[in-house]
């Protein structure tokens, strides 16, 4: 058994996120999150051009599935590492792997080399994403947690608004390589900006490796392989898709519960439910987000640009919800924000279905999607805060990795299944869209019904 003891944290500074002691750290960590988000979104825009340029369409699926799988493994490793040694190591190694992967991908002369770069990049992203949560727990006083996680949400929303457009301009005017090569020029100075703050974090002393660490990494490897198969299988057709997705789901059913808190499958009180709610919300939002542009374009005649703007409305509402929860007085009950957020997602996705009724104005569906985005903004930061609240200092890394792991795996599973449903018919129709939105709304409703269980049992 391992004993982990964190040294006392520095006194909580007066002021907010930009108090003198926190200013550089706040700018740095938010910038890192924004860079991770931009790269994740920009690559999707550039990849068709990359595949044509490198004659690598056969490896198109693994160019996305590979980094996702590497990220799954890295999240678990980062959690263990952060708890044993503190978040500094995972942050620096994550930044190094992230930058190295971008350089390899940007200078690739074949699709095989580009995939290697993408896998390295994904591994670095996974290390960073978890370690930055631990940084929040170790550096920021509890009263600022909601605000810093709101800033993290905004750091994802802004790239979602401008990332694809900027990437398109870069590809057209400078070439696809600069989508990868431009980011390291910003990432390295940002890393240097947070260096003093990382040095000041209280050290974690340990008497040995956490019990079961190697076993946990083994299950993480199994989940990573399953996640890669799921991603690749979701882009196939016919018996190949069924075989790959089936094998992937079987692998995830076996491995994922061993990486998530005990009691996760039965919605145990406290942390297991917190992580389950995050996964349900992610799955619900992603399932709806995938079909909305297609549905509005085919059923209501919207242009691709107009249909895409509907998603932008949801992203802006998400940002607004995050800002709101970070500035409102702390709710009297831990269950309030998760419940309200999931109810908003449930109702919002249900209202989006009105777009299938010809007599209903399109703006009704847009308003529904804005409501779902608002719900995500209220929910996501509040669950991140709860994860840290329910974690001892030596467990922040493990629990943060579980939170993000559940998020990623739930979303990837629903994405693959949604893609398979839409691909089952040559021409998806109202039934496919309505069914997918009903599943999304149902997942959110299930979360709303379970939200009261985020409060641990008394005693």
Q: Clarify whether residues 187 and 123 are in a common domain.
A: yes
pLDDT of residue 409: 85
pLDDT of residue 2: 41
Counted domains in the chain: 2
Q: Clarify whether residues 409 and 348 are in a common domain.
A: yes
| pLDDT band at residue 414 using 50, 70 and 90 as cut-offs | confident
Q: Which domain holds residue 109?
A: 1-8+16-145+155-211
Q: Clarify whether residues 111 and 188 are in a common domain.
A: yes
- Please report whether residue 251 resides in a domain: no
| pLDDT band at residue 371 using 50, 70 and 90 as cut-offs | very high
pLDDT of residue 3: 42
- Please report whether residue 241 resides in a domain: no
Q: Clarify whether residues 334 and 194 are in a common domain.
A: no
Higher pLDDT among residues 67 and 161, named by residue: 67
| φ and ψ of 442, to 5 deg | -65, -40
The pTM is what?
Answer: 0.84
- Please report whether residue 49 resides in a domain: yes
| pLDDT band at residue 418 using 50, 70 and 90 as cut-offs | confident
- Please report whether residue 231 resides in a domain: no
- Please report whether residue 126 resides in a domain: yes
Q: Which of 168, 185, 211 is the last residue of a domain?
A: 211
Q: Please determine, for residue 202, whether its predicted confidence score (pLDDT) is greater than 70.
A: no
Q: Clarify whether residues 404 and 275 are in a common domain.
A: yes
Q: Which of 171, 189, 211 is the last residue of a domain?
A: 211
Q: Clarify whether residues 291 and 198 are in a common domain.
A: no
Q: What is the mean pLDDT of residues 436-454?
A: 94
Q: What is the mean pLDDT of residues 18-29?
A: 88
How far is 401 from 217, CA to CA, in rounded Å? 12
How far is 365 from 353, CA to CA, in rounded Å? 7
Q: Please determine, for residue 4, whether its predicted confidence score (pLDDT) is greater than 60.
A: no
Q: Which of 211, 227, 252 is the last residue of a domain?
A: 211
- Please report whether residue 26 resides in a domain: yes
Higher pLDDT among residues 64 and 224, named by residue: 224
CA distances from 458 to 277, 336, 399, 454, 455 (A): 20, 18, 21, 12, 9
Q: What is the mean pLDDT of residues 69-75?
A: 88
Q: Clarify whether residues 187 and 286 are in a common domain.
A: no
- Report the CATH number that the domain containing residue 163 is assigned in CATH: 1.20.1250.20
Q: Clarify whether residues 270 and 207 are in a common domain.
A: no
Q: Clarify whether residues 416 and 320 are in a common domain.
A: yes
pLDDT of residue 117: 94
pLDDT (tens digit per residue) in 391-409: 887 788 888 888 988 888 8
CA distances from 28 to 22, 91, 229 (A): 10, 12, 35
pLDDT (tens digit per residue) in 222-252: 888 888 887 777 666 778 777 888 888 888 8
Q: Clarify whether residues 191 and 82 are in a common domain.
A: yes
- Please report whether residue 30 resides in a domain: yes
Q: Clarify whether residues 188 and 289 are in a common domain.
A: no
Range from 12-16, 184-188, 210-214, 321-325 carrying the lowest mean pLDDT: 12-16
Q: Clarify whether residues 196 and 271 are in a common domain.
A: no
pLDDT of residue 370: 95
- Please report whether residue 104 resides in a domain: yes
Closest CA to 83 of 191, 197, 209, 196: 209
pLDDT of residue 9: 46
């Amino acid at each position: 058994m391992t004993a982990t003891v964190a040294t006392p944290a520095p006194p909580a500074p007066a002021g907010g996120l930009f108090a003198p002691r926190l200013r550089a750290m706040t700018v740095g960590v938010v910038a890192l999150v924004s860079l991770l988000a931009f790269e994740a979104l920009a690559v999707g825009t550039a990849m068709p051009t990359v595949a044509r340029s490198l004659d690598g369409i056969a490896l198109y699926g693994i160019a996305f599935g590979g980094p996702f799988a590497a990220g799954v493994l890295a999240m678990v490793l980062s959690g263990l590492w952060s708890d044993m040694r503190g978040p500094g190591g995972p942050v620096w190694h994550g930044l190094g792997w992230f930058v190295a992967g971008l350089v390899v991908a940007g200078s690739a002369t074949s699709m095989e080399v580009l995939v290697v770069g993408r896998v390295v990049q994904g591994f670095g992203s996974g290390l960073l994403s978890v370690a930055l949560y631990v940084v929040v727990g170790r550096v920021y006083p509890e009263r600022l947690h909601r605000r810093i996680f709101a800033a993290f949400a905004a750091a994802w929303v802004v790239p979602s608004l401008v990332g694809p457009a900027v990437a398109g301009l870069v590809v057209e005017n400078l070439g696809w390589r600069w989508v990868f090569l431009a980011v390291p020029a910003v990432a390295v100075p940002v890393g240097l900006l947070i260096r003093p703050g990382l040095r000041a974090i209280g050290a974690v002393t340990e008497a040995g490796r956490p019990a079961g660490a190697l076993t946990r990494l083994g299950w993480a490897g199994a989940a990573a392989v399953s996640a890669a198969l799921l991603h690749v299988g979701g882009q196939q057709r016919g018996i190949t898709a069924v075989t790959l997705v089936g094998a992937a789901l079987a692998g995830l059913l076996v491995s994922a519960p061993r990486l998530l808190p005990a009691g996760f499958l039965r919605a145990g009180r406290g942390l297991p439910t917190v992580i389950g709610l995050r996964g349900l919300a992610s799955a619900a939002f992603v399932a709806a987000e995938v079909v909305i542009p297609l549905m509005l374009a085919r059923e209501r005649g919207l242009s691709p640009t107009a249909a895409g703007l509907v998603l932008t409305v949801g992203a802006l509402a998400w940002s607004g919800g995050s800002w709101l929860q970070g500035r409102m007085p702390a709710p009297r009950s831990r269950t309030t924000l998760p419940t309200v957020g999931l109810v908003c997602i449930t109702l919002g996705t249900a209202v989006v279905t009105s777009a299938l009724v010809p007599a209903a104005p399109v703006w009704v569906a847009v308003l529904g999607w804005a409501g779902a985005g608002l719900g995500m903004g209220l929910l996501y930061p509040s669950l991140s805060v709860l994860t840290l609240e329910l974690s001892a200092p030596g467990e922040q890394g493990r629990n943060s990795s579980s939170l993000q792991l559940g998020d990623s795996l739930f979303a990837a599973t629903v994405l693959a299944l949604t893609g398979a449903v839409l691909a089952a018919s040559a021409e998806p129709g109202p039934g496919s869209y309505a069914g997918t939105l009903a599943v999304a709304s149902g997942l959110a409703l299930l979360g709303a019904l379970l939200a009261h269980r985020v409060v641990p049992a008394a005693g």
